[in-house]
Amino acid sequence: MLHYAYIIPLLPLAGAVILAFFGRRIGNPLAGWLGTLLVAASFVVAVFVFIDLLDRAGGNRSFDQTIFTWIPVGGLQIKAALLVDPLSITMVLFVTAVSALIQLYSIGYMQRDPQFSKFFVYLNLFVFSMLILVMADNFVLTFLGWEGVGACSYWLVAFWFDRDAAASAGKKAFIVNRIGDFGFLIAMFLIFSTVGTLTYSGVFGAVGSIGPTTLTAITLLLFLGAVGKSAQIPLFIWLPDAMEGPTPVSALIHAATMVTAGVYLMARVSPLLSHTTSSLNVVAIVGLLTAFVAATSACAQGDIKRALAYSTISQLGYMFLAVGSGAYVAAIFLMVTHAFFKALLFLGAGSVIHGMHDEQEMSRFGGLRKWMPVTAGTFIVAWLSIAGVPPFSGFWSKGDVLMNAFARSPALYAGGLLTALLTAYYMGRVVFLTFYGPERWRTGGPHETLPHEAPSVMIVPLVVLALLSFGGGIINLPIDNYDFLGRWLSPVFGPALRVLHYSGSTQRLFETADAVVAVVGAVLAGGLWVRRWQRPRLTPVFFQRAWWVDTAYDTLIARPSTALANFSAVVFDNRVIDGAVNGTATLIRDSGERLRRVQTGYVRNYALAIATGAALVLAYVASRVGS
């Protein structure tokens, strides 16, 4: 079955191609079903590959499949080759599973969109790119997938491109990502010039021959790529704006899968990262800072999707904190459970927005649990999971991250715990503002029809994801023989992985602390937000604007650049460039204008000129002869 691994990315690609050419003819909703089924089939193939891999012994679970030589240039032989190992197949499993569920949901959500089939073209192309990204066996092929998901993200954020905000949000996402991509590219150049190969196995085998400074540079540049893709400080500003895209896109790309590509990359290059402590420190600190800053920003958002976007940034920060602590398994564990509960949160929010007729402001919600009980129930499951209330999946994954952070440094742990409190609080705020309290939408806007529950194609993914959010922790419980993910992934990371040796009672202590923090945060949110929906002192503008980071970029970079561009276009181009061209023409014309006076048309004038000239030449020659 392992030899059929290439089918996994092939199916979504086939879906994208078929829908691109025949999507309109296949029509609505059949095009959506086709896309969903192909991704689901891809998931099934991945499950078979996974089972095959399980049958192998622990150290032997790596399989390299060359499809063709992609770029043969002298010493640089880049192959389109897939690497099937526990890490990539874990990513493949959750990417295809979550994608299939979200595509199913999209059939309902995008029902009335005139560009229905185009939406599924992009989604399938996205899944293909994401699978290439995680299954590639070399940096260049990963980069192909990396750019592919970036392009799909751009198309999907700007899907409703006739809206100004959506179009510019798409551009912003693309441009900010380019900054990170530049880091990725330079890192690849550095790797090739020092090691001479770009396959993962080749580079990791030669890690000893790379100088420490070069290694730090390579890992930090790769991290810059990850920072762009995974929306970390200082490049996180594109993600909240990316919420202009359709909600299933936010769930799939900007919460569950694409934004975790940075974390995946860091986990993939763990053999490089583990050799450079300074890079690990940078990763951990940037992760923690992002987690905290984004969590505070999430506390003050009024738009439900923006609140979730900041929450995503914050959770991604946790994952980088885990990576920086050398706890790659914890990072992947949180990534998987986060994919479940954050996809669920977004799909729930989408259901609310759908039911409330495209209203996204939480100040216009309230009391919705009576009107959309399934959405409310599943949303609350996701909330308890992300908050880290036991025994939901988020409790186990976040506990794992925090414990590893403590092993690295108590300061990191303290910051992480504070952020966990904030997480429980801001998600509680979203839940209480949306589903509890007075029904503010009755007075707010001109709602002709009452809110309604979503159709069943949207409900089914919600329920499935709620089950996964609840029980997802089972893949890696901190109990012997139940830590499947840890044992499954540890051969990939090998010595790079830090293994904790806390006793059972210490672990219980950590778990109690996590649980207490989660419950305190949730209760705090309930006490503050169930009855009141406006507390300006708790939502300062500083947090609403995410610590003014976006504004700072605007003032420091965007505006001066625009001014410079304006200057170049209006002043420099018009005056200097055009001036030089027009000036030359004017000079020639004016001098010609003057010179034509010489031609009088009188033959005698010409004759006189000839005579004078001849006389002068003669005089000159005579003077030379004389001397």
Binding site for another protein (CB under 8 A): 596, 599-604, 607-608, 611
Residue whose CB is less far from another protein, 411 or 611: 611
On the CB side of 519, CA atoms within 13 Å amount to: 8
Cα(first)–Cα(last) distance of the chain, in Å? 105
d(CA 80, CA 138): 8
| Interacting residues of 451 by C-beta distance below 8 A, sequence separation 6+ | 352, 355, 356, 368, 371, 372, 441
d(CA 322, CA 329): 8
Residue whose CB is less far from another protein, 587 or 607: 607
Residue whose CB is less far from another protein, 446 or 601: 601
* Minimal distance, residue 583 CB to another protein, in Å: 24
Q: Which is it for the CA torsion 487, 489, 491, 497, positive or negative?
A: negative
Which H helix or E strand runs over 61? none
Residue whose CB is less far from another protein, 501 or 604: 604
Q: What angle do CA 77, 83, 85 make, to 5 degrees?
A: 155
Residue whose CB is less far from another protein, 411 or 607: 607
Which H helix or E strand runs over 97? helix 86-109
DSSP string, 534-589: --GGGS-HHHHTTTTHHHHHIIIIIHHHHHHHHIIIIIIIIIIIHHHHHHHHHHHH
Residue whose CB is less far from another protein, 555 or 600: 600
Residue whose CB is less far from another protein, 557 or 617: 617
Cβ neighbour number for residue 499 with a 10 Å cutoff = 13
DSSP string, 261-282: HHHHHHHHTHHHHTT-HHHHHH
3-state secondary structure of 1: coil
| Interacting residues of 620 by C-beta distance below 8 A, sequence separation 6+ | none
Measured N-to-C along each axis, helices 30-55 and 86-109 cross at an angle, to the nearest 10 degrees, of 160
Contact 109, 248 (CB under 8 A): yes
Residue whose CB is less far from another protein, 112 or 604: 604
- Residue 287, sorted as left (phi over 0), alpha (psi -120 to 50) or beta, turns out to be alpha
Residue whose CB is less far from another protein, 577 or 615: 615
Residue whose CB is less far from another protein, 574 or 600: 600
Cβ neighbour number for residue 163 with a 10 Å cutoff = 12
* Minimal distance, residue 559 CB to another protein, in Å: 55
* Minimal distance, residue 588 CB to another protein, in Å: 15
| Residue 481 tokens, joined | 């023989």
Contact 251, 350 (CB under 8 A): yes
* Minimal distance, residue 601 CB to another protein, in Å: 3
Of 451, 251, 464, 436, which Cα lies nearest the Cα of 350? 251
d(CA 273, CA 269): 6
3-state secondary structure of 72: strand
Which H helix or E strand runs over 73? strand 63-73
* Minimal distance, residue 562 CB to another protein, in Å: 51
Residue whose CB is less far from another protein, 25 or 597: 597
Residue whose CB is less far from another protein, 582 or 600: 600
Residue whose CB is less far from another protein, 563 or 607: 607
| Residue 574 tokens, joined | 């018009």
d(CA 334, CA 456): 29
* Minimal distance, residue 600 CB to another protein, in Å: 6
Contact 52, 1 (CB under 8 A): yes
3-state secondary structure of 453: coil
Residue whose CB is less far from another protein, 599 or 627: 599
* Minimal distance, residue 567 CB to another protein, in Å: 43
Measured N-to-C along each axis, helices 393-408 and 410-435 cross at an angle, to the nearest 10 degrees, of 160
